[in-house]
Structure 1
Amino acid sequence: MASRSTDLRIASINTNGIRAAFRKGMGAWLDARDVDILAIQEVRASTEDIEQLLGPEWNILHDAASAKGRAGVALASRAKASIHRVTIGDDEFDSAGRWLEADYEVNGQIVTVVSAYVHSGEDGTPKQVEKYKFLDGMAARLPEIAEHSPLAVVVGDLNVGHTPLDIKNWKGNVKRAGFLPKERAYFDRFFGEQGRAVEGVDGTTGPGLGWVDVGRQAAGEVDGPYTWWSWRGQAFDNDSGWRIDYQMATPALAAKVSNYAVDRAAAYDERWSDHTPVVVDYTI
């Protein structure tokens, strides 16, 4: 599948509506980026729209939200997936438009890629209840994915800043959805040592799942690099952002990372989404 000699390039982007993103310049970015697998969140369009925008050279998998014009996740690839799955959590939980898994054969090995869009949430409301149901579903599904495929990655807008390094103004957001201690504790466990008891930032304890935050692995213990900025005010110009778009990989795949990039626009008026693409090369 890989268009370079050894690397599999996976890009993830919350488009905030793919049709609007293409009107603003997403197509030019994609044409220049030489991507093998593109994970999209907040598609907000039909499968036919995606096919028309991307063109016939892409194979499209799309899981739309139950409510028309909302959410929606997709995977576009140069080669076809061998199988895909779209459910997470309990049977009665509506995860439509938020979780899409697919298996791809890359140089004789299976790589599992998930495009995920976690609820934004709102503390003290039913929206936050749904967010925790989704995070519970992730916590249950991640070990199953790792068992299914040693080379696996969950990418997308996960709508949680894990640590103070992930939000510019973290002190002002400790009681806001996206940086609540209970939310962050899930990520403590996602990235904690596999099988070891991990104490979350909220004081709860649970088993570590052993996945790797590829962005933090690449950047080190520094602020950011942020992946989302509000359209309002001077947030983008001041780089007052949040790092909420992830590529989280199994250890075996994380060890194969050869490059990590956040494709931040050069200027505010060159943005085509409030998020920016996260692009990672894996040597398979």
Structure 2
Amino acid sequence: MRIATFNINGIRAAQRRGFEEWLRDREPDVVALQEVRARAAAIPPGVFGPYHLAYDEGVLAGRNGVAILTRHAPDAVRTWSGTALLRGPGEVHVEVTGLDPAPLARGLREFATQGRYLEVDLADAPITVASLYLPKGGLPEHLQKPGRMREAPDGGARYERKMRFLDGFARQLTRSRQAARATGREFLLMGDLNIAHTRHDVRNWRRSNQVEGYLPEEREWFGSILSPRTLVDVVRSRHPDTDGPYSWWSWLGQSFANDTGWRIDYHLATPALATSAGAAGTDREPSADRRISDHAAVVVDYDLDSFDPTPG
């Protein structure tokens, strides 16, 4: 089963740059999308081809939005807001409310309607798949230096917001993983986590210790959600002790040409599912003028015949 995650940085822009061709040529069975950035009615007709769409567009116009594409209609869909948009191939989207999500962990309520998290139970495999767009954040107040920042100093507000999210999401993630286990399913979290975990995940890691996304406390949090018994970083398990493969490059300058990137897009899987992974990496385009997004898709082939699902 080929499963991908892709921060497309706007579905309409991604379509113009070749998203439909990527989807057709790579033939993934499941795709988690982040930053869809469109109201459901504005999603280009036919852009998702023969796939079923589950989508949480959120309430922030032109921002965020997470989705999951599947070949078969999912058995269940869950969002933090309790509302999702569902659409089969060639159909008009249907808004579904009252999805009865699990109680949110403390600290996540402020993010519930922002279109940051959606999960589905696959109909054709014993797996719960989640798509996450984690806040980018910012610098703590003591590291903010006017004139040396792209954004205006905010007294650490964006940093504190991200840390609140991380604190609550760690608990929520445990709940989701355990809920999947209780129903005999593996759990796979995918998405843009906006954190590079180790020095192998940032090309210029020595200069990034005071950059959001590579702060020591962010990296420590990332390590805390991983273990051989809970969740495994699938791509890193297949590429140990090597730089990259990166999944994000700035649009500016020669970052892409020089492969000056960050690895911030992940497959985090329960151990049995992670062990079944074969080919795993990023679909880095051959040249800057062929980029679909500032991110690359992260694609993993899972051999579902080779793993023993978690017992219920």
Aligned length: 260
Q: Deviations over 1:245-272 (max 9, x none)?
A: 0000011110111221210000010101
Residue ranges of structure 2 left out of the alignment (5+ in a row) = 81-103, 141-155, 305-312
Task: Output the CA distance in 2 between the equivalents of 1:171 and 1:10.
Answer: 33
Task: Output the CA distance in 1 between the equivalents of 2:119 and 2:209.
Answer: 32
Q: Which residue of 1 aligns with 2:126?
A: 110
| Mean CA deviation greater in 118-127 or 240-249 | 118-127
Q: Which residue of 1 aligns with 2:237?
A: 217
Q: Which residue of 2 aligns with 1:94?
A: 111
Do the aligned partners of residues 167 and 80 (structure 1) sit closer, same or farther apart at CA in structure 2, a change above 3 Å counting? same
Q: Deviations over 1:11-70 (max 9, x none)?
A: 111111011011011111111011111111000012234462434622111111321111
- Percent sequence identity is 40
Task: Output the CA distance in 1 between the equivalents of 2:41 and 2:232.
Answer: 35
Secondary structure in 2 aligned to 1:265? coil
1:141-180 map, 5 Å: 141-150=172-181, 151-180=186-215
Q: Which residue of 1 aligns with 2:220?
A: 185
Taking structure 2 as the reference length, what is the TM-score of the superposition?
Answer: 0.80
Equivalent position to 2:40, from 37, 41, 47: 47
Task: Output the CA distance in 1 between the equivalents of 2:248 and 2:126.
Answer: 31
Task: Output the CA distance in 2 between the equivalents of 1:177 and 1:55.
Answer: 33
CA contact (8 A) 2:105 2:169 kept: yes
Task: Output the CA distance in 2 between the equivalents of 1:39 and 1:50.
Answer: 16
Q: Deviations over 1:220-258 (max 9, x none)?
A: 111111000001111111100000000000111101112
Q: Which residue of 2 aligns with 1:279?
A: 299
1:250-261 map, 5 Å: 250-261=270-281
Residue identity matched to 2:222: F
- Per the TM alignment, residue 148 of structure 1 is displaced from its structure 2 partner at its CA by 2.0
CA contact (8 A) 2:245 2:281 kept: no
Residue ranges of structure 1 left out of the alignment (5+ in a row) = 1-7, 195-209
Do the aligned partners of residues 21 and 55 (structure 1) sit closer, same or farther apart at CA in structure 2, a change above 3 Å counting? closer
Q: Structure 1 residue 245 and structure 2 residue 238: aligned?
A: no
Taking structure 1 as the reference length, what is the TM-score of the superposition?
Answer: 0.87
| Mean CA deviation greater in 111-120 or 125-134 | 125-134
Q: Deviations over 1:162-191 (max 9, x none)?
A: 011100011111111100111111111111
CA contact (8 A) 1:89 1:133 kept: no
Is the radius of gyration larger for structure 1 or structure 2? Answer: 2
Equivalent position to 1:36, from 29, 33, 37: 29
Secondary structure in 2 aligned to 1:105? coil
- Over aligned residues, Cα RMSD in angstroms? 1.6
Task: Output the CA distance in 2 between the equivalents of 1:69 and 1:101.
Answer: 21
Task: Output the CA distance in 1 between the equivalents of 2:163 and 2:77.
Answer: 24
- Per the TM alignment, residue 137 of structure 1 is displaced from its structure 2 partner at its CA by 2.5
Q: Structure 1 residue 25 and structure 2 residue 29: aligned?
A: no
Q: Structure 1 residue 235 and structure 2 residue 255: aligned?
A: yes
